[in-house]
Amino acid sequence: MIAIAKDLGKIPSVEIKEEKIEPKKGKQIGILGGTFNPVHSAHLIVGEQVYNKLHLDEVWFIPTNIPPLKDSPTVSPQDRANMLELATQDNPHFQVKLFELYRGGVSYTVDTLRYLHETQPENHYYLIMGSDQVNNFNEWKEPTKIAQLATLVGIKRAGYPTKAELPMIWVDVPSLDVSSTSIRQTIAMGGSIRYLVPVTVRNYIQKKELYHE
């Protein structure tokens, strides 16, 4: 069983506690970032479909610390990391990476990709984005540099055009109309989130009494 992340708040924000990986044969790595507040079934479906259709070696889920284009998460980084660990622990090609939580501050994708190229340059990275993210990609920090550091992968979504200013691979994924926002609202109203999140995540939310305010 994968160990749950602990004591994130005790790690200095100015230092990244990740060991360098020795040079080896590179892997094809999918990068799926977000606040994961909370992680839900659609996140996992996207990760699995991209993994399968692009023949990747692994998909890394990277929770943001402070998102640059959204409000700050309503629960602690440790709770979000714990829920991700619980949600992905039964999938051998899913990994949770806490680079951005360790780094602290505002989480910029370009900074994370630069870090990965410095520490694990042998890998090839695929940045997975929803159609809504593609639409505001020009608002991200250094989007052109991001496209140089990773292959861009767009997830098709009803109501959003499949056009991008930079080269992008588009992947069809079964549609699931669920979001972290709707899950938080459902919990606050006393509704059921069964099947919208993995049972391990639902149990964690109930035990910790998250999102009730």
CATH code, domain carrying 133: 3.40.50.620
How many distinct structural domains can be found in the chain? 1
> Is residue 113 in a domain?
yes
> Is residue 211 in a domain?
no
Q: Is 182 helix (H, G, I), strand (E, B) or coil?
A: helix
> Is residue 199 in a domain?
no
**131 has a pLDDT exceeding 90:** no
**17 has a pLDDT exceeding 60:** no
Residues in CB range of 118: below 8 A, 6 or more apart: none
Neighbours of 169 (CB within 10 A): 14
Model pLDDT, residue 147 = 97
Instruction: Please name the helix (run of DSSP H) or strand (run of DSSP E) that holds residue 49, with its range, or none.
Output: helix 41-53
**21 has a pLDDT exceeding 50:** no
User: Looking at residues 170-199, what average pLDDT do you find?
Assistant: 94
> Is residue 202 in a domain?
no
Q: Which residue has the higher pLDDT, 131 or 58?
A: 58
Tokens 């340059």 -> residue: 121
The range of the structural domain enclosing residue 94 comes to: 25-175
> Is residue 141 in a domain?
yes
> Is residue 37 in a domain?
yes
Q: Positive or negative CA dihedral for 133, 137, 141, 142?
A: positive
Instruction: Please name the helix (run of DSSP H) or strand (run of DSSP E) that holds residue 154, with its range, or none.
Output: strand 151-155
**37 has a pLDDT exceeding 60:** yes
How high does pLDDT run on average in the chain? Answer: 88
Model pLDDT, residue 160 = 67
**1 has a pLDDT exceeding 70:** no
Confidence of residue 13 (pLDDT cuts 50, 70, 90): very low
Confidence of residue 204 (pLDDT cuts 50, 70, 90): very high
> Is residue 213 in a domain?
no
Residues in CB range of 123: below 8 A, 6 or more apart: 26, 27, 28, 29, 116
* pLDDT tens per residue, range 145-168: 999 999 999 998 766 667 778 899
> Is residue 186 in a domain?
no
User: Looking at residues 36-59, what average pLDDT do you find?
Assistant: 97
